[in-house]
Structure 1
């Protein structure tokens, strides 16, 4: 994985709750184990040809409703998001398996309160092309005159900043693992 880079981008607002992995990437596109090329199918069943559709334009951030990524355990949904160029999803909560898959693939999930979500969504409805800055180090999101904090598991935050996947995190403890194996 690539270490986290500062993010300032436009956001797509998809504030409905319970957007599950089948909405993110319909099952018919999950036939293989190839992670590349899935971004073109992101939200395939709800995407329209309308240029005003939230994901029709280049957006690297999604502002979503509660329980984003619920549903199946398929990692393909995360691959579709990152393949489309999404680097961060901001929501009050996430599906637990989806959250693990996101962490393993470098997708930042920023957990905000319902009130902060409403503030961000209202601002972006009024100013749809407003830049949104996500500061992982400070755990802050800024747009216009708005600043909200977000929660993230400290281990996931550290791994994203360092650009470490599960194997990379394990290899950080290689000396301790070797010592344990030698002793047992």
Structure 2
């Protein structure tokens, strides 16, 4: 739970009682996914969707988490110096993150990101980093402001090492 202004905010696992029909972030693929695919991905264990529930019970935003892997060769050399030479390393993927356009500019994106990072850190499943695929330049800049680093050959794919995330919550 957290506070945004004077209002109490909650992040919950997406359930059938959450009304997704009016959600509109302004990015059609993210909106379509949330309205039509998110619950199916949850049922099939493809992704874990989480929703930001506002005091009036409206959904202010959402994100998804799932496990993934990164090829060791994709990471910058300085990030892999102390890692075993496995072909790939485990990671947590924030597959999607969006805020309803009526609530953009209120810090809810950062709130959702912090919640996602905390859940990834608390997980009992090993992960070297949290990964995001920025959908556009605005998203890339958002993640870079939050200390995510671009992969050398894929600037729209960014990562933040779990060791760094752990320091956030100490």
Q: Which of structures 1 and 2 has the larger relative contact order (alpha carbons within 8 angstroms, sep 6+)?
A: 1
With normalisation by structure 1, the TM-score equals 0.28
More strand by share: 2
